[in-house]
Each structure stands twice: as C-alpha cells, then as structure tokens.
C-alpha cells in the first residue's frame, strides 16, 4: 500500500465572509492511497478557524505507517489509530479516511454510496451559500445561484435584515441561514427567528456560541424554525450532547474525521430523534462526492463547495434540478479532469 499527497490552494470565486472572518482561498491537501493497481482519492479542506494547515497536515501524514494496513480495511481500527497519532487534525484524518473508502469501493467494484447504505433516489436538494457582502454583490451571487432550489445565507452581523431583504428583492426561493455563533442577545435572537420565519427561512445554523448550550437550548425551544448545531458538533461524542440543545446537527466530514465516523453520527442522531444536515467546507469534487455518498440519509444538504471555487482540479459531479446525481462508478465516482 502506498500513500502520496500534494498541497493545493483552492481559490474562491468571491471573497467569503462570515460573522467572524473573511477569506479568498482555502489550503487543501490532496491524498492518494494505492493498493493492487487501484488508487483511492481523498481531500483535507483546512479552513483557518479549525487550526490545520499544509504544514500540520504533512507533519501528521509523515507519522502514518501505511505498511500496517491490510485489506479488507477495518475502518474503526484505522480511525482509532489515526486518533492515537495526535488529537485534533480532523481534516487530514478525513482525507485519509475518504481515500480509503474510495479505494475500498474500487476494490469491491461498488460505489461508496451503496457500501454506506444510501439510496440515490432520496437525495435532498443542496443549497448554494452566499457570504456576507454588499447589496450589489449579494444580488450578483443570487444570480449565480440560478438552478439551485435553496440558498444558504451567512448572517451574524448588524446587517442581517438588510441582507435577507436584498435577497428577497430578487428571489423567493427557500432559505437556510447560518449565524456562525454571531448572535448574543436572547430576546433579539428570538425576535429574529420569527422575522426569518416570515421570510421563508427553513433552518438556522449555530446562532449562539457553541460553548453556550443553555442559550442555544432556550432559543431552540422557542424558535419557529429548526436550530442546527454546527460548530458545537464536531465528532461522534458531540452528537448525544446536542440532544435537548438543538433540533438537529450539521455533519461535515472535515469535522468528523471522515465517512466512517460521519455514518456513525447519522445513526446516533436518528436514534436520538435529531434532524441531520450534511455540510461541507470549501472543497473540491473529491470531498463533495464523499459527502454525497451519505447525503441521501440526511434531511438537508449543503454540499456546494465545488460551485464556489475557481480551480477545482476534478470534474464537477452531475447536478440537475437542484440536486446532485450519484453515478454508479466504483468508489466515490470521482472523475479526473
């Protein structure tokens, strides 16, 4: 078995601004694992606030002893091994896990979505994300979202209502909003949930600080819109903590350390009667297809990463009617450009 990897800088089509910061690119690490003439592809998208970088990813991978793995893969044991190397580092662990799932599918000659128990016919629509911006740029971005059935809006500043009003001046499609922990006043937040409900908003991600479960639980109990835990829900052990605090959870492979744990999180969330969203960072088609392998098991999907970047090194996944179309290729179904 052979491991190779290359650093890559993913360029955004527009500056991406959320409640607490703005960026124009995202460092990613492209990973390949080869075995028996087949190669599995993985990706780590390392958004700055998660604390990973090209350097940290390379240092982590240099400690991985690929020679100890054998086929068929014991994904649970592999996750435990990667966690034993160093805490944190979920994105580069996800890249390793995704590459192994892609390789596993290719060796078994089956698509990953099938191996993970998904039904392509149940694929939800995916949202198109619009960051905080000027009214002129917001309108431009809305026009770029033509073909999408849902728009996701970043909120968390004192211009929240203006941003929503601007979007509503040009489209009436349903909205998701993500406050990225940007709200603080409970009564104002509750008032905002009712106003957003009137504007056709279907869910709100992480309104209050992730370290303040009491405030999030208070808002969830009173909000007319589902409240979704995002930053507060990283890995499997966080799912149970979300019960009674949020309506549902946002599972991202770059937080969960990959598909194996994400699938466990889905099963646990269903057991706890929590709704499920499958989200993403700024990603290429590789990580997006990994998310899509489990997306039919979710209530909502936000896997728009490849649409937001200008230098995706892979072929775009098939997309029609606001939904991704899963193919029957072995593994992830990733196609090289």
pLDDT reading at 18 higher than 70:
no
* 334 within domain boundaries: no
Q: At what angle do helices 285-292 and 90-108 cross, to 10 degrees?
A: 70
- Say which CATH number the domain at 97 has: 3.30.390.10
In whole angstroms, give the CA distance from residue 331 to residue 173. Answer: 34
Task: Tell me, yes or no, whether 288 and 257 share the same domain.
Answer: yes
Task: Tell me, yes or no, whether 132 and 240 share the same domain.
Answer: yes
Least confident of 45-54, 203-212, 252-261: 45-54
* Confidence tier at 337 by pLDDT (50, 70, 90): confident
Task: Tell me, yes or no, whether 16 and 85 share the same domain.
Answer: yes
* 330 within domain boundaries: no
The reply to whether 252 belongs to the active site is yes
181-194 tens-digit pLDDT: 999 999 999 999 99
Number of domains in the chain: 2
* 168 within domain boundaries: yes
Residue 185 annotated as binding? no
Tokens of 232: 């507060």
Task: Tell me, yes or no, whether 211 and 260 share the same domain.
Answer: yes
Indicate left, alpha or beta for 257 from its phi (over 0: left) and psi (-120 to 50: alpha).
Answer: left
pLDDT for 19? 56
Task: Tell me, yes or no, whether 128 and 101 share the same domain.
Answer: no
> Where among 110, 128, 143 does a domain terminate?
110
* 205 within domain boundaries: yes
Task: Tell me, yes or no, whether 124 and 23 share the same domain.
Answer: no
* 200 within domain boundaries: yes
* Letter string b/e over residues 127-142, b meaning 16 or more CB atoms within 10 A of that residue's CB: bbbbbbbeeebbeebb
pLDDT reading at 22 higher than 80:
no
Task: Tell me, yes or no, whether 175 and 303 share the same domain.
Answer: yes
* 336 within domain boundaries: no
pLDDT reading at 113 higher than 60:
yes
* 92 within domain boundaries: yes
What is the extent of the structural domain holding 309? 114-324
Compute the chain's Rg from CA coordinates. 19
pLDDT (mean) for 211-222:
98
Task: Tell me, yes or no, whether 149 and 256 share the same domain.
Answer: yes
CB hemisphere CA count around 54 (13 angstroms): 10
Question: How much of the chain, in percent, has pLDDT values that exceed 90?
Answer: 89
Task: Tell me, yes or no, whether 281 and 164 share the same domain.
Answer: yes
- Say which CATH number the domain at 304 has: 3.20.20.120
pLDDT (mean) for 104-130:
97
* 332 within domain boundaries: no
Task: Tell me, yes or no, whether 100 and 216 share the same domain.
Answer: no
Residue 271 annotated as binding? no
Residue 144 annotated as binding? no
* Confidence tier at 157 by pLDDT (50, 70, 90): confident
Taking residue 70's Cβ as centre, other Cβ atoms within 10 Å add up to 9
- Judged by DSSP in three states, 12 sits in strand
pLDDT (mean) for 137-166:
91
- Please, what sign has the CA dihedral across residues 84, 90, 91, 97? positive
> Where among 52, 75, 110 does a domain terminate?
110
pLDDT for 49? 80
pLDDT reading at 20 higher than 80:
no
pLDDT for 50? 85
What's the whole-number average pLDDT of the chain?
Answer: 95
pLDDT (mean) for 47-68:
94
Least confident of 16-30, 63-77, 113-127, 284-298: 16-30
Q: Are strands 201-205 and 175-178 parallel, antiparallel or unpaired?
A: parallel
* Torsion angles phi and psi, residue 220, rounded to 5: -60, -40
* Confidence tier at 15 by pLDDT (50, 70, 90): confident
Task: Tell me, yes or no, whether 150 and 96 share the same domain.
Answer: no
Q: CA angle at residue 11 from 6 to 14, to 5 degrees?
A: 165
- Which among 93, 106, 141, 154 is annotated as catalytic? 154
Q: Would you list the DSSP string of 33-87?
A: EEETTEEEEEEEE--GGGT--HHHHHHHHHT--GGG--SS--HHHHHHHHHHH-S
Give the list of residues 6+ apart from residue 72 with CB closer than 8 angstroms, or none: 104
Task: Tell me, yes or no, whether 44 and 160 share the same domain.
Answer: no
pLDDT reading at 153 higher than 90:
yes
* Confidence tier at 9 by pLDDT (50, 70, 90): very high
The candidate with the shortest Cα–Cα distance to 57, out of 22, 39, 31, is 31
> Where among 90, 110, 130 does a domain terminate?
110
- Which among 93, 106, 152, 252 is annotated as catalytic? 252
- Judged by DSSP in three states, 108 sits in helix
Record the pTM. Answer: 0.96
The reply to whether 154 belongs to the active site is yes
pLDDT reading at 110 higher than 60:
yes
The candidate with the shortest Cα–Cα distance to 293, out of 284, 283, 303, is 303
pLDDT reading at 16 higher than 80:
no
Q: Which residues pair with 154 in a beta bridge?
A: 178
The distance from CA 192 to its chain's CA centroid, rounded to whole angstroms, is 25
């Amino acid at each position: 078995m052979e491991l190779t990897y290359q650093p890559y800088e993913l360029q955004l089509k527009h500056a991406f601004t959320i409640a607490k910061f703005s960026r124009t690119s995202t460092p990613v690490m492209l990973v390949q694992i080869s075995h028996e003439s087949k190669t599995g592809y993985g990706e780590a998208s390392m958004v700055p606030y998660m604390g990973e970088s090209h350097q940290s990813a390379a240092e982590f991978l240099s400690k991985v002893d690929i020679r100890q793995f054998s086929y068929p893969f014991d994904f649970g044991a592999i996750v435990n091994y990667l966690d034993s190397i160093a805490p944190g580092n979920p994105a580069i662990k996800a890249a390793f896990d995704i590459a192994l799932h892609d390789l596993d599918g290719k060796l078994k000659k089956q698509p990953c979505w099938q191996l993970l128990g998904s039904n392509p016919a149940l694929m939800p629509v995916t949202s198109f994300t619009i960051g905080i911006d000027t009214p002129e740029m917001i309108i431009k971005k809305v026009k770029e979202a033509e073909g999408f059935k849902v728009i996701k809006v970043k909120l968390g500043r004192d211009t929240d209502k203006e941003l929503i009003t601007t979007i509503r001046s040009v489209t009436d499609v349903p909205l998701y909003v993500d406050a990225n922990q940007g709200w603080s006043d409970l009564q104002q937040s509750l008032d905002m949930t009712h106003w957003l409900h009137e504007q056709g908003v279907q869910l709100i991600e992480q309104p209050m600080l992730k370290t303040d479960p009491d405030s999030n639980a208070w808002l969830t109990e009173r909000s007319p819109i589902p409240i979704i835990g995002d930053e507060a829900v990283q890995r499997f052990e966080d799912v149970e903590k979300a019960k009674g605090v949020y309506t549902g959870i946002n599972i991202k492979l770059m937080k969960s350390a990959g598909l194996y744990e994400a699938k466990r999180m889905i099963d646990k969330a269903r057991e706890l009667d929590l709704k499920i969203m499958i989200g993403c960072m700024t990603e290429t088609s590789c990580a997006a297809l990994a998310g899509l392998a489990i997306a039919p098991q979710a209530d909502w999907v936000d896997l728009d990463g490849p649409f937001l970047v200008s230098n995706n090194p892979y072929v775009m996944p098939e997309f029609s009617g606001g939904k991704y179309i899963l193919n029957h290729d072995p593994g992830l179904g990733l196609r090289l450009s």
